[in-house]
Amino acid sequence: MAAKIIWSEIDEAPALATYAFLPIVRAFTKGCDIEVETRDISLSGRVLTLFPERLTEAQRVADHLAELGELVKNPEANVIKLPNISASIPQLQACIKELQQQGYDIPSYPEEAENDEDRKLQERFSKVLGSAVNPVLREGNSDRRAAASVKKFAQKNPHKMMQPWPPAGESKCRVAFMDGGDFYESEKSVTMDGADTVKIQFVDEGGHAKVLKELKLLAGEVFDSSTMNVRKLRDFYTATAAEAKEKGVLLSLHLKATMMKISDPILFGHCVSVYFKDALEKHAATLKEIGASPNYGMGDILSKLDKLPAEKKAEIEADINKCYESGPALAIVDSRKNITNLHVPNDVIVDASMPNVVRDGGKMWNLQDQLQDTIAMVPDRCYATMYAEIIDNARANGQFDPSTMGSVSNVGLMAQKAEEYGSHDKTFEAPSNGTFQVVNSAGQVLMEQKVEKGDVYRSCQTKDIAIKDWVRLAVERCRESGEPVVFWLDEKRGHDAQIIAKVNKYLPDYDTAGLEIKVMAPREAMTFSLERIRKGLNTISATGNVLRDYLTDLFPILELGTSARMLSIVPLLAGGGLFETGAGGSAPKHVQQFLKEGHTRWDSLGEYCALVPSLELVAKNFNNNKAKVLAETLDTAIGTYLENQKLPSRKVNELDNRGSTFYLTLYWAQALAAQSQDQDLKARFTPIAKEMTDNADKIDAELIAAQGRPIDIGGYFRPDRVKTEKEMRPSATLNAIIDNM
């Protein structure tokens, strides 16, 4: 039986890169009993699956995400998962607009639900909002690290993006966080003795209870409840803004509005409404009329002003501008377009933005296009303190050195929508003052949270089987690497205290003799890891789902220049494998550059690296020796690719993604020709390697010649396949070799 590898079709830069690399993967695996199939999980594809009844037969798209969601629960799953857009509302609207222009009869997103029909539509769209793909596919925990060859390469060829930190103690950068009223302080957590159905209800001050959610919990499952007091949150924003103004530094806000799609847009909106308080309060009635909400960012408010008569618009704009003058300078995303940190909720995503603050010497960009010290607001203490620690460490000891620094790899607890990243359907904004309660089937109140109107309530679930597997994986990595493993858990946090008990319960199930295994609160774990990093020593972090996300961008960006170079393996609980490519996102800026000047700076190393364990899984599960040889030679090719420095350049008319992929292909063919484990493959690839080697200069030149002009691919969210393929495969010489294989 042929093995099947599923390659996910996604968005933006990695989607472009797929056009160049996938035909090569298909050609190389031909005749090896491996089928490579694609499934469309792009944002546009997911939007189209929502409205089959409004589309023609030819326009309809099958629900590939649902299909893959089932597949990952089966042992034969072998999925290569590239990063996709986790859409904010402005991104979703832009995607819908494009689809409408392309002739798809998709309804617009109703921002304000005025009737039941709107509410139904909103609910339908909510399936594709925010991080809607990863939680469905991640039926396993995560093992993210740099492959040994990649780390070695990074130390030998340190990336040049690190900016020095000012002399010890001189930087005014700091991480600001709340000192009370946050999720950290309020969190309560229970472990279920047995399976039960619980409900989350809200009881108002008059004693009226309303059930918001009913859930079936499993025995051993950890269930949490916590709240964010928005009055204290707003006080925190106000005080921190005043501090930034007084110190003359930038103010920045770091949240994860994509993955925390319900809570973080609200937290973001409060910041917008605090910063622009004078203008937004003065014009509250008008803004409400035109449907402008701070939760979508200042960009949305400004664009909605177009609905107003010119005079009114100008008046509100002038009042908004006064807020910039009286407030602290904001961190800027794009100075040419005056796009600040508060423009759209998904522009500054904490996992990618905070590492850049460390990398850039405690600074972010200001309106004058210069780097300037920033006060970085990460409101909730569950995760802020570890960022505070790395900032404090760099302020005191200077920048990290990628040529000598040790690594921090990660074993992340993420299976089955673990923790906060699965909490969207259990997150609520308090309708009035009152109490949220978690009540079991016997009517007993397990946990309760007193709240004020507008506070954000959140419950999280973590399944026992996921925790047990995570402990196993951490022990396994510890043994295989010989490096110490630190469980980043804080006994003072409700949830973490339950997890610590589980770690202590499950560790004795495994052979831990001679292994260094520690449990430390995030701040202390950071101190411990940084001390080792500066000595060139490696450490494994075993963390929950959020820290997994944060740390697997933070350390790779410092160590390797980008988290795209990470190996990201998800051994699925059912036995299959999900191989994520890199740990970063889909880099929208890269598409813009491609459209403007025909250069794609996306680095596909993550894709190359992910294909190795995917082929290894085929080899193991199907006893397929050819797959084993393909994996080994690809691994060798990646080594050569790094040694010869064939990574894409950031500048036009230099090697880009397409050229990089060509060189990887060349080295892979050469390695297949050079091996003698499989004579068929040797015979097949010897002439191919020769042809590619002989024509390498010509191919390289053809790929460079394709750059340096604007590109039209007929769409951003759903580009035209024929046009994109033509642009991403511009070398006739290379295409002839690949297509004849």
Ligand X SMILES: O=C(O)CCC(=O)C(=O)O
Can you give the binding site for Mg ion, defined by CB under 5 A? 351, 549, 553
The least distance separating ligand NDP from the CB of residue 171, rounded to whole angstroms, comes to 22
Burial class (CB in 10 A: 0-12, 13-18, 19+), 723: middle
Q: What is the CA angle 564-567-572, rounded to 5?
A: 125
Q: CA-CA distance, 692 to 647, in Å (whole number)? A: 19
Kindly state whether residue 564 participates in binding ligand NDP, applying the rule CB under 6 A: yes
Residue 684 assigned to a binding site: no
Query: At which residue do the structure tokens 């990398």 appear?
Result: 359
CB atoms within 10 A of CB 158: 17
The least distance separating ligand X from the CB of residue 39, rounded to whole angstroms, comes to 17
- β-bridge pairing 3-9 and 78-81: parallel
Which does residue 229 touch among ligand NDP, Mg ion, ligand X, none (CB within 5 to 8 A, set by kind)? none
State which residue, 387 or 602, has the beta carbon closest to ligand NDP. Answer: 602
Among 15, 80, 85, 96, binds ligand NDP (CB under 6 A): 85
State which residue, 549 or 727, has the beta carbon closest to Mg ion. Answer: 549
Helix axes 381-397, 545-560, angle to 10 degrees: 20
The least distance separating Mg ion from the CB of residue 553, rounded to whole angstroms, comes to 5
Helix axes 657-674, 696-705, angle to 10 degrees: 160
State which residue, 86 or 252, has the beta carbon closest to ligand X. Answer: 86
Kindly state whether residue 83 participates in binding ligand NDP, applying the rule CB under 6 A: yes
Site string for ligand NDP, 575-594 (x = CB under 6 A): -------x-xxxxxx-----
The least distance separating ligand NDP from the CB of residue 363, rounded to whole angstroms, comes to 15
Residue 591 assigned to a binding site: no
Which does residue 146 touch among Mg ion, ligand X, ligand NDP, none (CB within 5 to 8 A, set by kind)? none
Sheet arrangement for strand 434-439? 209-217, 196-204, 434-439, 445-451
CB atoms within 10 A of CB 632: 18
Q: CA-CA distance, 420 to 545, in Å (whole number)? A: 7
- Classify 30 as helix, strand or coil: coil
Tokens at residue 257, please?
Answer: 């509005």
Which does residue 715 touch among ligand X, Mg ion, ligand NDP, none (CB within 5 to 8 A, set by kind)? none
Among 365, 602, 641, 717, binds ligand NDP (CB under 6 A): 602
Q: CA-CA distance, 36 to 25, in Å (whole number)? A: 8
State which residue, 354 or 699, has the beta carbon closest to Mg ion. Answer: 354
* DSSP character at residue 63: -
State which residue, 86 or 372, has the beta carbon closest to ligand X. Answer: 86
- β-bridge pairing 34-40 and 3-9: parallel
Cα-based distances in Å from 734 to 21, 53, 190, 685, 724? 12, 42, 59, 15, 17
Question: Are the CB atoms for 503 and 519 separated by under 8 Å?
Answer: yes
One-letter amino acid for residue 560 of the chain: L
Among 8, 18, 86, 142, binds ligand NDP (CB under 6 A): 86
Question: Are the CB atoms for 627 and 635 separated by under 8 Å?
Answer: no
List all residues 6 or more positions away from 114 whose beta carbon is below 8 Å from its beta carbon. Answer: none
For binding to ligand X (CB under 6 A), which residues are involved? 86, 131, 134, 258-259, 351, 549, 552, 583
Which of these, 203, 367, 342, lies nearest to 275 by C-alpha position? 342
The least distance separating ligand NDP from the CB of residue 523, rounded to whole angstroms, comes to 24
Q: CA-CA distance, 222 to 464, in Å (whole number)? A: 7
Which does residue 471 touch among ligand NDP, ligand X, Mg ion, none (CB within 5 to 8 A, set by kind)? none
The least distance separating Mg ion from the CB of residue 149, rounded to whole angstroms, comes to 23
Which does residue 587 touch among ligand NDP, ligand X, Mg ion, none (CB within 5 to 8 A, set by kind)? ligand NDP
One-letter amino acid for residue 587 of the chain: A
Residue 603 assigned to a binding site: yes
State which residue, 27 or 137, has the beta carbon closest to ligand NDP. Answer: 137
Site string for ligand NDP, 336-375 (x = CB under 6 A): -------------x--x-----------------------
Residues forming a β-bridge with 145: 567
Report the residue closest to ligand X, judged by CB. 86
Helix axes 12-29, 605-622, angle to 10 degrees: 40
Which does residue 589 touch among ligand X, Mg ion, ligand NDP, none (CB within 5 to 8 A, set by kind)? ligand NDP
The least distance separating ligand NDP from the CB of residue 142, rounded to whole angstroms, comes to 11
Which does residue 297 touch among Mg ion, ligand X, ligand NDP, none (CB within 5 to 8 A, set by kind)? none
Which does residue 582 touch among Mg ion, ligand X, ligand NDP, none (CB within 5 to 8 A, set by kind)? ligand NDP
* DSSP character at residue 327: S
Residue 381 assigned to a binding site: no
Q: CA-CA distance, 157 to 29, in Å (whole number)? A: 32
The least distance separating ligand NDP from the CB of residue 145, rounded to whole angstroms, comes to 16
Residue 81 assigned to a binding site: yes
Which does residue 492 touch among ligand X, Mg ion, ligand NDP, none (CB within 5 to 8 A, set by kind)? none
Q: CA-CA distance, 478 to 282, in Å (whole number)? A: 58
Q: CA-CA distance, 139 to 129, in Å (whole number)? A: 20
The least distance separating ligand NDP from the CB of residue 491, rounded to whole angstroms, comes to 30
The least distance separating ligand NDP from the CB of residue 16, rounded to whole angstroms, comes to 11
Residue 553 assigned to a binding site: yes
Kindly state whether residue 598 participates in binding ligand NDP, applying the rule CB under 6 A: no
Residue 83 assigned to a binding site: yes
Sheet arrangement for strand 408-412? 34-40, 3-9, 78-81, 577-581, 567-571, 142-145, 408-412, 539-543, 485-488, 517-520
The least distance separating ligand NDP from the CB of residue 572, rounded to whole angstroms, comes to 16
Residue 359 assigned to a binding site: no
**Among the residue ranges 241-249, 307-315, 481-489, 599-607, the one whose residues contact ligand NDP (CB under 6 A):** 599-607
List, as one string, the DSSP characters of 168-203: TT----EEE--SSSSHHHH-EEEE-SS-EEEEEEEE
Which of these, 323, 253, 238, 239, lies nearest to 281 by C-alpha position? 323
Report the residue closest to ligand NDP, judged by CB. 585
State which residue, 131 or 225, has the beta carbon closest to ligand X. Answer: 131
Tokens at residue 173, please?
Answer: 């950068």
State which residue, 26 or 81, has the beta carbon closest to ligand NDP. Answer: 81
Q: CA-CA distance, 459 to 188, in Å (whole number)? A: 9
Residue 138 assigned to a binding site: yes
Residue 335 assigned to a binding site: no
Annotated binding site: 81-86, 131-138, 144, 351, 548-549, 553, 585-586, 590, 601-603, 650
By CB under 6 A, name the binding residues for ligand NDP.
Answer: 83-86, 134, 258, 349, 352, 562, 564, 582, 584-589, 601-603, 606
Annotated binding site for Mg(2+): 351, 549, 553
Annotated binding site for D-threo-isocitrate: 144, 548
Annotated binding site for NADP(+): 81-86, 134, 585-586, 590, 601-603, 650
